[in-house]
Amino acid sequence: MAAADAADITLDGLKGAVLPLVCRSLSQPVSLNLPIGIYSPATLPLQDVSSTDNPTVNLFDIIPEYTSEIDFGALERGFLEANRSCNMALLPPPFGFKGDLPRDTKIQIFLYPARPGVYYIVKHFVCSSKCKPILFKQGVYGQAQSYRWRSSDAKIGKKIIQYVLENLGGRQLKMFDLVSHTTPRNSSGKFEDKDDDEIDRGFDFIQNEGPRSCTEMAQLRWMTKNLKAPTSPIYQWPHSLVEKALRNIATDGALAKKEFAWPIPLTEKYYHKWLLDILEKIWNFDQSAFLMLGEAEAGKSPLGRSVLMAQVRHNQHRFKARGTPCIRCTAEIDFLRGEPGSVIMGDFLDDTTLSNLSVKTLKYFLDVGLYESMVWARWGATKWVQNEPRAAADNIYDEDKLPKDLDFVPSVPFAAFWDSIKSAFTSEASRAHADAILKRTAILLNSKTHVYYRPAGINQDPVQRFAINRAEYLTDAGKELFGKYLDGEREFAADFEDEVRREQTWVDRIMTRRKEERKPDFKKRKEVREALFGRENDVPREVHVKREFPAEEAAFFKKAKTWSHELRNTATGTIDLDSPERSTTAFSRISVNVSRVPIVPSTESVGIPSASSSAIPNAVMPELEEFIDTELAEEADFIEEMGDQMDIAGEKEYMKIDVHSSRYGKEHEESALLIFLYMASSEAWQNPHGKTTQKSRKEKEKWGRSVQMFLNKGPLALIKLLTKDGILQKPTKCPHCASASVGPLKYCKQWNGYVYRCSKRACHCRIWPHSFHPIFYHSKGKGSDLNMQASVLFCATIGIPQVSTHLLFDVDAKAVARIYNNLEIARAKFVRRQEKAIVYGGWCDVEADEVDLGKGFLDDTAGQKKGVTTAWEQWGGLVERGRPESLRLFRLNPAATKARAPGPGPIRKRDWKPIAHKHLLGRRVILHTDGARAYKMKLDKVIHCNVVHKQKKKIVRGKVTWEKPHYTKVYDLKLPDGQKLTVKSGTQIIDRCWRHLRDHLRYTPRKPGNPILERKIRSAQWLYWNRNKNLWAKTGEMLRTL
């Protein structure tokens, strides 16, 4: 058969070919040798991978001309093992991959015979998560390529790829297969044992084939026939489930559908710049609704959808919401019923008539900041949640009420604006109702000559406007894309993802500004800045008429204007004008001393006026004085506290203004206080040297697993879930004979459960999925079933105390203790193995310290000094700042002490020397320690910075005083390559490690040498490594390596 021409292959044609097919995963790899198919490698829908491309899951390694001899037997064996263990290194070159791919990545290999002895090799990598193209390009043997066509439906793209690859012909090693709607092999079993793919295929079958109408018992007939047909994807499904699915299909026509694929982001490419500037001034859509009024054909419908999609995308990141952002568009509130709202689902009343809505309904719809709002709707109720974006569009307004003269004036009185739009609302609305609506709504009105915009709020401020005739919101590119959307084309532009990133960067900047404005002290801070530096971006609210000045004043203003122009055009140098003398309260007159507050403004004279200068309004001064008296002390204390407790210092100068200077008097002190207040409130903290510590919010974490999930799962579904999470692993060889492989998981009536079985005839032993497991066990009795053990393990992982877990499940305490102890043993074993791979270097900041964890009496005091009866459990540690997984712990051998000794003392040199030589010597490390003498040992390529945690005794005026210790100290370092660094020394990071360790050992016996104590220390070390991470997923990764 002749190969198809590349010009004849289109996306629409392939869509029609694969629509009735289903792409399923094969349980075992398949090897086929087929004749040449209808497609050739040149017609594959692929393109070269660029380092700037977005991450994707379908990647290809193309080797056009391969002439070496191929051992197909070895290739098939390597293909089987590579997909079974997800390790591409098991394949012989060049059929494998030279780098690392995401876990659970599958590979398919297609060998197309170009001519005798020459093969065109196509390797298809299917990643479990998106892989970055730059990493994939580094590991391929040939040319890195990716799928060329984008589609709103990922399943269609997956089926197209598999369809063209299978139709190449030649020798094929596959992990996936295209089939028609047929029943899977195990669909005749229980519904509870079906996997997710089978359930999805069943619901897709109902969605595509099920009748929408129940007239003449159409749905009942269809359901009865398919539930009894062995070839049906819903064979033996529960009647109630299928009936509910059909009922949902029938009622879908009466509800507003969710729109996930909106192709027009809110960027300058698709919307005019002046419109985005207006939206930036009124954007507050996490607390207020968006109302568009005015002339038709301006683009209100696409603008409303783009604004809502931009806000819900931001909400998904802000609230860490699960799901896909979407919008619902309708003209009636009734069609929004049936599903409660969400912060990632925007509701848009497009082309509606607001005057038909009651005031109560309209207020509830527009109140975005309300915790929960609900209104009555026909056949049900409509419910919205807090921060759910909402918008509405209507054409009703009264143009005759708007001012006709002075088109150049940038604002109009509020009364005229309200008179023009009040006809859009119900006539029953009173003035109080109008204020309630305006408080909740940001309004955009487009007339024939202007675009009016007003942020949400209750005030009588003039309404700003932008002069433009017959405003159109969309650019030419936006109109073209919106036209395609109206024609039914749902394809995205090639740069869609890049435009979405630009949109979200813009929205994040706006929302950050809004959050700052909502702070209670924002108004006072703004007044301080305006007093010091004048207003910024102030929009005039009144029209100023030009005045005629007397001749003297006109000459004075002309001279000032000339001086201003020359000052602006001259960066440096002398200005040849009679400039007035500088104020005596210049900034250069204030004394400056070196200290710990980072300052942005230059220390040169900038002429900032004092508190008594006319540049600061008298009305502001009382509030400034009150603010300085009450708030400045707290700000200064905060900065002092941060100066002593910050982990890492920046590479900036540290300065402090001496505000208590009697040399210049009261007015200079007030001026210095104002400047200090500005610097304290400015965003002057820059990126520090090293890595910053990550903060955790435990109350916002979600792992996707729960105790109810484990308890409610069926046996087979639970085993598949735990295997997917890595808690269980299928044995590669029989653990009894250690020579043969095991078969697939099957149900055994004799054992009443799912087991593996050895394939060796002389063995044929059955193996439980959790036999020989590091944590789980198998025995008879209450508390031994796998559901209970998985639930107990989950409780142990999230940190529920062992003494409370057996009460939670009503099981034997020993069964719970066994799971907890096995988990600690597994963690300790994993830590000892992985700790060897920790390496420090690159002039990173490493903290070292020691801690005392317990003490006990010596069993044998022979050879000890008199009175020495106490032994100590002392451990040391190393950790790199900003990298918790770099924590390394080592047990020390401290000297025995007397019974009343407070501790064994600091680390000794004989303990520190082998550790330092092994892990730090020659590694290019900045070491931070306390004042112990052992740490002062000289090491090559190690810069030592220490702080002394000891009070200093001083005599002041004949009296003994004690100076508090300083736990941090700033060092200016010069590296061997000439680079200069400013670092803040201290041991706060590793001190937090010790606090975490003591919390974990709260109820543990502390006798020195106790193996239980060491095991729990290693378990706490594993927890510190994985802080702020999904501990259940990390437990699965740990068990995969054991």
User: Is residue 375 within 8 Å of residue 362, measured between CB atoms?
Assistant: no
Q: Which residues of 504-519 are buried (b: 16+ CB within 10 A; e: fewer)?
A: bebbeebbeeeeeeee
Q: Which three-class secondary structure state does DSSP give residue 206?
A: helix
634: Cβ contacts below 8 Å, ≥ 6 apart: none
**Average pLDDT value for residue range 977-981:** 89
938: Cβ contacts below 8 Å, ≥ 6 apart: none
User: Is residue 528 within 8 Å of residue 626, measured between CB atoms?
Assistant: no
Residue 598 CA from chain centroid, whole number = 30
Q: What is the pLDDT of residue 1021?
A: 96
In terms of phi and psi (left: phi > 0; alpha: psi -120 to 50; beta: otherwise), the region of 1018 is: alpha
What is the crossing angle of helices 633-645 and 666-681, to 10°? 50
Higher pLDDT, 905 or 490: 905
**Average pLDDT value for residue range 555-574:** 58
Q: What is the pLDDT of residue 605?
A: 36
Rounded distance between C-alpha atoms, residue 792 and residue 806, angstroms: 9
User: Phi, psi (5° rounding) for residue 443?
Assistant: -115, 135
Of 679, 594, 694, the closest CA to residue 648 belongs to 694
The neighbour count for residue 141, using CB atoms within 10 Å, is 17
Give the 3-state secondary structure of 867-883.
CEEEEEEEEEEEEECCE
Task: Give the Å distances, CA to CA, from 760 to 389, 754, 891.
Answer: 63, 19, 47
With cut-offs at 50, 70 and 90, classify the pLDDT of residue 922. Answer: very high
**Average pLDDT value for residue range 199-225:** 82
Q: Which three-class secondary structure state does DSSP give residue 530?
A: helix
**Average pLDDT value for residue range 279-286:** 92
Cα dihedral 890, 896, 897, 899 sign = positive
Q: What is the pLDDT of residue 1034?
A: 95
Rounded distance between C-alpha atoms, residue 692 and residue 686, angstroms: 12
Looking at the predicted structure, is the pLDDT value of residue 779 above 50? yes
**What letter does residue 258 receive in the DSSP assignment?**
E
Looking at the predicted structure, is the pLDDT value of residue 708 above 50? yes
Rounded distance between C-alpha atoms, residue 702 and residue 321, angstroms: 10
User: Is residue 805 within 8 Å of residue 796, measured between CB atoms?
Assistant: yes
Looking at the predicted structure, is the pLDDT value of residue 475 above 80? yes
Looking at the predicted structure, is the pLDDT value of residue 714 above 60? yes
**Average pLDDT value for residue range 404-429:** 86
The reported pTM is: 0.41
Looking at the predicted structure, is the pLDDT value of residue 754 above 60? yes
By percentage, how much of the chain surpasses pLDDT 70? Answer: 78
* DSSP-derived secondary structure for 56-84: EEEEEEEEEEE-S---HHHHHHHHHHHHH
Q: What is the mean pLDDT of the chain?
A: 80
Looking at the predicted structure, is the pLDDT value of residue 409 above 50? yes
With cut-offs at 50, 70 and 90, classify the pLDDT of residue 1032. Answer: very high
With cut-offs at 50, 70 and 90, classify the pLDDT of residue 253. Answer: low
- Per-residue pLDDT tens digits for 303-346: 999 999 999 999 998 888 888 899 999 888 877 766 778 899 99
Looking at the predicted structure, is the pLDDT value of residue 1023 above 90? yes
Q: Which two tokens stand for residue 120?
A: 């065109």
Q: What is the pLDDT of residue 660?
A: 43
In terms of phi and psi (left: phi > 0; alpha: psi -120 to 50; beta: otherwise), the region of 217 is: left
Q: What is the pLDDT of residue 535?
A: 61
Looking at the predicted structure, is the pLDDT value of residue 263 above 60? yes
Looking at the predicted structure, is the pLDDT value of residue 615 above 60? no
With cut-offs at 50, 70 and 90, classify the pLDDT of residue 536. Answer: low
* DSSP-derived secondary structure for 620-672: THHHHHHHIIIIIHHHHHHHHHHHHH-SS--SS-EEEE----TTT-HHHHHHH
Higher pLDDT, 655 or 868: 868
Q: Which two tokens stand for residue 800?
A: 């529920």
CA distance between the termini of the chain:
52
Beta-strand (E) ranges in 423-560? 441-446, 450-454, 463-467
Q: What is the pLDDT of residue 38?
A: 85
Strands 463-467 and 450-454: antiparallel
Q: What is the pLDDT of residue 892?
A: 94
Q: What is the pLDDT of residue 550?
A: 56
Q: What is the pLDDT of residue 197?
A: 77
Looking at the predicted structure, is the pLDDT value of residue 841 above 50? yes
Task: Give the Å distances, CA to CA, from 451 to 195, 323, 419, 805.
Answer: 56, 36, 16, 64
Q: What is the pLDDT of residue 818?
A: 93
Rounded distance between C-alpha atoms, residue 1011 and residue 606, angstroms: 67
Which of 186-190, 587-591, 698-702 bottoms out in mean pLDDT, i.e. has the lowest? 587-591
381: Cβ contacts below 8 Å, ≥ 6 apart: 337, 374, 375
323: Cβ contacts below 8 Å, ≥ 6 apart: 316, 342, 344
Rounded distance between C-alpha atoms, residue 671 and residue 583, angstroms: 12
Cα dihedral 930, 931, 937, 943 sign = positive
Q: Which two tokens stand for residue 472?
A: 């159109």
Looking at the predicted structure, is the pLDDT value of residue 416 above 50? yes
Rounded distance between C-alpha atoms, residue 747 and residue 325, angstroms: 41
Q: What is the pLDDT of residue 687?
A: 43
User: Phi, psi (5° rounding) for residue 641?
Assistant: -65, -45
Rounded distance between C-alpha atoms, residue 847 and residue 932, angstroms: 13
Rounded distance between C-alpha atoms, residue 866 and residue 886, angstroms: 42
With cut-offs at 50, 70 and 90, classify the pLDDT of residue 778. Answer: confident
What is the crossing angle of helices 496-517 and 300-319, to 10°? 70
Q: What is the pLDDT of residue 73?
A: 86
Higher pLDDT, 861 or 223: 223
Which of 122-136, 269-283, 930-944 bottoms out in mean pLDDT, i.e. has the lowest? 122-136
- Per-residue pLDDT tens digits for 40-81: 888 888 888 887 888 888 899 999 888 888 888 888 888 888
Q: What is the pLDDT of residue 335?
A: 76
**Average pLDDT value for residue range 652-680:** 45
* DSSP-derived secondary structure for 781-850: STT-SHHHHHHHHHHHHHT--HHHHHHHHT--HHHHHHHHHHHHHHHHHHHHHHGGG----SSEEEEEEE
- Per-residue pLDDT tens digits for 173-195: 988 888 775 544 444 456 766 77
Q: What is the pLDDT of residue 554?
A: 64
Q: What is the pLDDT of residue 698?
A: 74
* DSSP-derived secondary structure for 215-229: GGGHHHHHHHHHHH-
Looking at the predicted structure, is the pLDDT value of residue 957 above 50? yes
Looking at the predicted structure, is the pLDDT value of residue 387 above 70? yes
The order of strands in the sheet holding 289-294 is 258-259, 326-330, 345-349, 390-393, 289-294, 441-446, 450-454, 463-467, 411-412
Looking at the predicted structure, is the pLDDT value of residue 538 above 50? no
Residue 229 CA from chain centroid, whole number = 46
With cut-offs at 50, 70 and 90, classify the pLDDT of residue 588. Answer: very low
Mean pLDDT highest for which of 259-263, 667-671, 783-787, 952-956? 259-263
Residue count of the chain: 1042
With cut-offs at 50, 70 and 90, classify the pLDDT of residue 516. Answer: confident
Q: What is the pLDDT of residue 42?
A: 83
Q: What is the pLDDT of residue 575?
A: 46
Q: What is the pLDDT of residue 304?
A: 94
Q: Which two tokens stand for residue 89?
A: 């290194």
User: Is residue 444 within 8 Å of residue 292, measured between CB atoms?
Assistant: yes
Rounded distance between C-alpha atoms, residue 1016 and residue 775, angstroms: 16
What is the crossing angle of helices 218-228 and 239-252, to 10°? 140
Q: What is the pLDDT of residue 872?
A: 93
Q: What is the pLDDT of residue 560?
A: 65
Structural Rg of the chain based on CA atoms: 36
Which of 657-661, 902-906, 907-911, 1000-1004 bottoms out in mean pLDDT, i.e. has the lowest? 657-661
Domain ranges of the chain: 6-179, 194-252, 258-511, 587-681, 704-831, 839-1009
* Bond into 94 cis (ω within 30): yes
Of 368, 274, 275, 270, the closest CA to residue 315 belongs to 368
**Average pLDDT value for residue range 131-154:** 82
Q: What is the pLDDT of residue 452?
A: 94
Q: What is the pLDDT of residue 949?
A: 81
756: Cβ contacts below 8 Å, ≥ 6 apart: 730, 731, 742, 743, 744, 745, 746, 766, 767, 768, 769
